[in-house]
Amino acid sequence: MSFIQNMRMWGYRRSLKQQLRKRPEPKGKGEVNLNNAKTIGILFDATELSVRDTILHYVEDLRKRGKRSIKLLGYFDDPTDSENYSFDYYNRKQVDWAFRPQGEPVQNFIRQDFDLLMNINTVSLIHTEYIAALSHAKLRVGPFTEHTYSYDLMIDLSPQSGLRQFIEQVETLLGKTNTKHEAAPV
């Protein structure tokens, strides 16, 4: 890593550490799975049209299963400023020198009290980790990263696996999380 890159990461870590000290601890943490989650936040890389379509189809599937309160936040890796999307977004222009995402949509997403936050990306991006780490969500799920402060549950798949396999893995693991079992008859 270059000297400038190291300085940017130092600024990122310092800022994140300060913000994490201020973040309130969510109530009911650890009691959430996909079945009982009432509010869901989905964070994703919206740069590619195919990814946007996959995410929007997945959200439609969740709504068919009775999930009504779903909020999306997409990231565009280009300086787009279109208002024609059905979800909130931020772009490369809104990520500062220390990889911290800025803007009203980002701040609103962080402050929202989600039961479940899912970062649906096959690879972790430093600015989405920042959002996930500061989120007020009870349960945060995302791709594997060395930064364990970002997620409560991490999915480790190869980037070649694809988004659909990532979503299937998330659903499988969340289906087995925090389930109530009856006592076996004796």
- What's the average model confidence in pLDDT over 129-138? 92
Phi, psi of 123 (to 5 degrees): -130, 150
Q: Is residue 185 part of a domain?
A: no
Strand ranges (E), the chain: 39-45, 69-76, 88-91, 116-120, 139-143, 153-155
What's this model's pTM, rounded to 2 decimal places? Answer: 0.85
Yes or no: say if 76 and 106 are a contact pair by the CB < 8 Å rule: no
pLDDT at residue 23 in the model: 74
Average pLDDT value for the chain:
86
Q: Is residue 22 part of a domain?
A: yes
Is it the case that residue 83 has pLDDT exceeding 90? no
Q: Is residue 12 part of a domain?
A: yes
How do residues 156-178 score in pLDDT, each as one tens digit? Answer: 888 778 899 999 999 998 888 76
How do residues 134-143 score in pLDDT, each as one tens digit? Answer: 999 999 999 9
Q: Is residue 52 part of a domain?
A: yes
pLDDT at residue 119 in the model: 95
Read off the pLDDT band of 120 (50, 70, 90): very high
How do residues 4-57 score in pLDDT, each as one tens digit? Answer: 888 888 888 888 788 877 777 766 666 788 888 899 999 999 999 999 999 999
pLDDT at residue 28 in the model: 60
Is it the case that residue 180 has pLDDT exceeding 70? no
Give percent of the chain with pLDDT exceeding 90: 47
How do residues 71-81 score in pLDDT, each as one tens digit? Answer: 999 999 887 76
- Say how many domains are in the chain: 1
- For 120, residues 6+ apart whose C-beta sits below 8 A from its C-beta are 42, 43, 44, 55, 58, 163, 166, 167, 170
> Which CATH number goes with the domain that contains 23?
3.40.50
Q: Is residue 183 part of a domain?
A: no
- What's the average model confidence in pLDDT over 130-157? 90
Q: Is residue 180 part of a domain?
A: no
Q: Is residue 83 part of a domain?
A: yes
Range of the domain at 34: 3-175
Q: Is residue 57 part of a domain?
A: yes
